[in-house]
Amino acid sequence: MQKLLLLGDEALAQGALDAGLSGVYAYPGTPSTEITEYIQRNKEAMERKVHSEWSANEKTALEASLGMSYAGKRTMSCMKHVGLNVAADPYVNSALTGANGGIIVAVADDPSMHSSQNEQDSRFYGKFAMLPALEPCNQQEAYDMAFYAFELSEKYKIPILVRLTTRLAHSRAGIERKPVLKENELKLPEDIHQFVLLPAIARRKYKNLLAMQKDFLMESENSPFNSYIDGPDKKMGIIACGLAYNYLMENFPEGKSPYPVLKIGQYPIPESLVMRIANECESLLILEEGAPLVEEMLRGYMNKPLVIKGRLDGTLPRDGELNPNLVRIALGMEDLTGQSIPEIVVPRPPVLCVGCPHTDTYKALKEVIDEYGSGHVFSDIGCYTLGALPPFRVINSCVDMGASLTMAIGAADAGLFPSIAVIGDSTFTHSGITGLLDAVNAKSNIVLFILDNNTTAMTGGQTSPGAGKLEDICKGIGVEEEHIRIIVPLTRNHEEFVKLIKEEIAYDGVSVIIPRRECIQTLTKKMRKK
Ligand code: SF4
């Protein structure tokens, strides 16, 4: 079969395409973005007219996937780990609605927070929703798992979570393709009430979900992605989950661990395999990327009589990404920490690009806000969050998508004046609109900046769902027309910009200022294409 050199994200995308994907819905977020981007530029996907869409947010993406599944087709929704929080409502409920056509919920976690606000582990969501989850250890598994996930999804009529982590998502390796499967025909669910979660139906479906847990466990015990690999030295047994298995094996170049290894790539945790390694070995070392999910389950409260080592007892760091050397140290092998990093690659704080439109906005905002002292500006997530760093230091919060607006409302209610929110055009449509509605309904005294650079810049320039509609959205929500102010953020407009901000701060009510100028990166790309 054909071989391809692919990122982990791309391998999952190619696997889904080859397994008969009909549509993907996603919201961009590092390290998951490349899954959808790959499908969007894939020639075969274009010829086949595989539907691909950047949704307004992760919740709408997953709900659209549920709709496509309802119609019998195979579908995938993609997001980063914090995006799964946004999609948690449909995800947890989808355990009850189930699927018709296969659904993959592809979530890329970001341990070490390379580009994220937190370090959460999406496997917990699988456990919480009581749904099976898969975790590839390499690119080939990411590819193969797409086939497996769709089959499992359609067999039990439930969505399957596939969890990637940054290092796998963003590193490249060869994969071998399988024969391409045909897309499903349009087919409505046999049970017409399947997706109707009225209490009486939901109660029945919840019992059904509980009853299926033993099947999910049986599938996990027999999964091709879970295996027990025996070893002669029983002083220690190793449980290695997902990518951690790769890190482990990198320390044994000949491919043989002296210790028994339980490789886990499918959840729920395969109980009988865990019991086997626990019974055969004197102690256990748990290797898992992210949170100590398996370790906590095995320790229970007493941590007796088995000696269990991992992230909880300090054998491995409690936070951050694993790597082969950390695993090496945990195995009691020599620490191979390399040379110190040359100065040229010492991390430098990120800055806005030269010519970024946000620079002019922050210059104007800083000039005005300095009159009031710091602590008045609530921000959101995007390039503009860099306004927290020098030279601006103009924003004072960044909690989650949409929180700038709602925090500004709360602070204004508490008496903070002025109370200012800064959000990007894409983030505004992701989860800012409802906050603005709250502000209008409560007649909050806030000034909202929607920094419109006509793209989702931080993740590489995806289409912004609100492009060309921002004023109309604000008007529709009820912001007074004369307090929706548009300006082009350029040095020559600085004085006008400062004046405009002062006027809107002076207005007692909801003001929206839209500084509008295209992101310099996407503009440059467009110019080059021309
Ligand atoms: S990518 Fe665009 S929006 Fe982001 S910092 Fe650069 S110019 Fe500004």
pLDDT tens digits for range 469-497: 999 999 999 999 999 999 999 999 999 99
Helix axes 403-413, 433-442, angle to 10 degrees: 20
Ligand 1 atom closest to Cα of 351? 5
User: 518: CA distance to ligand 1 center in Å?
Assistant: 9
Q: Write down the H helix ranges in 113-242.
A: 123-129, 139-156, 166-169, 199-221
Cβ(519) to ligand 1 under 6 A? Answer: yes
Residue 520 Cα: closest atom of ligand 1: 7
Q: What is the pLDDT of residue 302?
A: 63
Candidate from 249-253, 278-282, 338-342 with smallest mean pLDDT: 338-342
Q: Provide the percentage of residues in the chain whose pLDDT is more than 70.
A: 99
Of 427, 473, 484, nearest to 451 (Cα)? 427
Determine the residue of 33, 351, 353, 458 to mutate for testing ligand 1's pocket, defined as the one with the most ligand atoms within 8 A of the Cβ atom: 353
| pLDDT 10s digits, 73-124 | 999 999 999 999 999 999 999 999 999 999 999 999 999 999 898 999 999 9
Predicted pLDDT of residue 514:
98
Phi, psi torsion values for 42, nearest 5 degrees: -80, 125
Q: Which is the closest atom of ligand 1 to the Cα of 386? A: 5
pLDDT, mean of residues 402-415: 95
Distances (CA, A) of 396 to 31, 69, 348, 375, 424: 26, 42, 21, 6, 16
Distance 74 CA to ligand 1 centre (A): 35
Task: Note the pLDDT tens digit of each residue in 212-242.
Answer: 999 999 999 999 999 999 999 999 999 999 9
Say how far apart CA 485 and CA 482 lie, in whole Å: 7
Whole-number pLDDT of residue 303: 59
The angle formed by the CA atoms of residues 161, 167 and 170, to the nearest 5 degrees, is 85
- Residue where the block lists tokens 């959000």: 423
pTM above 0.95, yes or no: no
Q: How confident is the model over 330-374, as pLDDT tens digits?
A: 999 999 887 677 777 777 778 899 999 999 999 999 999 999 999
Band of pLDDT at residue 4, cut at 50, 70 and 90 = very high
Lowest-confidence pick of 45-59, 297-311, 429-443, 456-470: 297-311
**In angstroms, what is the span from residue 358 Cα to ligand 1's centroid?**
8
Nearest CA to ligand 1 atom 2: 519
Best residue among 422, 427, 451, 520 to mutate for probing ligand 1, ranked by most atoms within 8 Å of CB: 520
pLDDT reported for residue 255 = 85
Top mutation candidate among 115, 352, 379, 423 for ligand 1, by most atoms within 8 Å of CB: 352
Are the C-beta atoms of residues 77 and 87 closer than 8 Å to each other? yes
Pocket probe for ligand 1: among 30, 115, 356, 454, the residue whose CB has the most ligand atoms within 8 Å is: 356
Handedness of CA 262, 268, 273, 275 (dihedral sign): positive
* Band of pLDDT at residue 254, cut at 50, 70 and 90: confident
The residue whose CA is least distant from atom 1 of ligand 1 is 457
pLDDT at 304: 62
- Cβ–ligand 1 contact at 453 (below 6 Å): yes
Condensed to tens digits (0 to 9), the pLDDT of residues 120-175 reads 999 999 999 999 999 999 999 999 999 999 999 999 999 999 999 999 999 999 99
Buried b (16+ CB within 10 A) or exposed e, 219-234: bbbebebbebbebeeb
Tokens 């082009």 appear where? 488
Identify the residue whose C-alpha is closest to ligand 1 atom 3: 519
CA distances from 239 to 248, 260, 264, 276, 491 (A): 10, 9, 7, 11, 58
Residue 116 vs residues 120, 381, 471: alpha-carbon distances, Å = 10, 9, 30
Q: Is the pLDDT score of 305 beyond 90?
A: no
Q: Is the CB–ligand 1 distance for residue 352 below 6 Å? A: yes
What per-residue confidence (pLDDT) applies to 487? 98
CA 324 to chain centre: 24
Paired tokens of 478: 């009820």
- Compute the distance from residue 376 Cα to the ligand 1 centre, in Å: 23
